Amino acid sequence: MLEETGPEWLSEEVKTGTTIIAIEFDGGVVLGSDSRVSAGASVVNRVMNKLSPLHDKIYCALSGSAADAQTVAEIVNYQLDVHSVEIDEDPQVRSAATLVRNISYKYKEELSAHLIVAALSLAMNRDGSSGGVAFIVSIDEHGTEEKVVLGNDLPTFFDQ
């Protein structure tokens, strides 16, 4: 009797979308993401920077529809700029997160976007499997510094 193993697609590797992560540590937060943009099963861009500034010291990691996520980030960036002029100081990360939450909820039926909001952090984006690039944003009380590093120049966990 033949053993039934099921459809071939059940044994194939499962590929999902974007990976974004935020890790809190004593003194800050690290944001990270992959750098690939896909449309269905096809990779349409291997080096998109998914870490977006919302204000001078506030960043977010983007996932979901690239167009939707970038639009939400741009709207929040504009609103935070206006808000900081009105209050004559930098906005709080809570204000940025609240704006993202309110926009996401208001347009939940139309949008396919998910953002992680963080401040006073180190943000890094790397896709080592494709060579890719790393977009690194250092954020501290003195300001921000952005760098782009080629994936082949980055150490891997087994380098000494």
State the pLDDT at residue 135.
Answer: 59
- Quote the CA–CA distance of 23 and 118 in Å, as a whole number: 10
State the pLDDT at residue 23.
Answer: 73
Residue 124 has pLDDT above 70, yes or no: no
Residue 150 has pLDDT above 90, yes or no: no
| Domain enclosing residue 107, as ranges | 18-129+136-147
Which of 48-52, 105-109, 145-149 is predicted with the least confidence, judged by mean pLDDT? Answer: 145-149
Q: Which residues are catalytic?
A: 18
Q: What domain count does the chain have?
A: 1
Residue 52, Ramachandran bin (φ over 0: left; ψ between -120 and 50: alpha; else beta): beta
93-101 contact pairs (CB < 8 A, 24+): 93/58, 93/117, 93/118, 93/119, 93/120, 96/54, 96/55, 96/58, 96/60, 99/75, 100/60, 100/72, 100/76
Where residue 56 sits, what CATH number does that domain have? 3.60.20.10
State the pLDDT at residue 28.
Answer: 66
114, part of any domain: yes
158, part of any domain: no
Q: How confident is the model at residue 99 (pLDDT cuts 50, 70, 90)?
A: very high
Q: How confident is the model at residue 4 (pLDDT cuts 50, 70, 90)?
A: low
- Quote the CA–CA distance of 50 and 66 in Å, as a whole number: 9
Residues 75/42, Cβ–Cβ less than 8 Å: no
pLDDT higher at 90 or 44: 90
State the pLDDT at residue 85.
Answer: 96
157, part of any domain: no
Q: How confident is the model at residue 78 (pLDDT cuts 50, 70, 90)?
A: very high
Residue 42 has pLDDT above 70, yes or no: yes
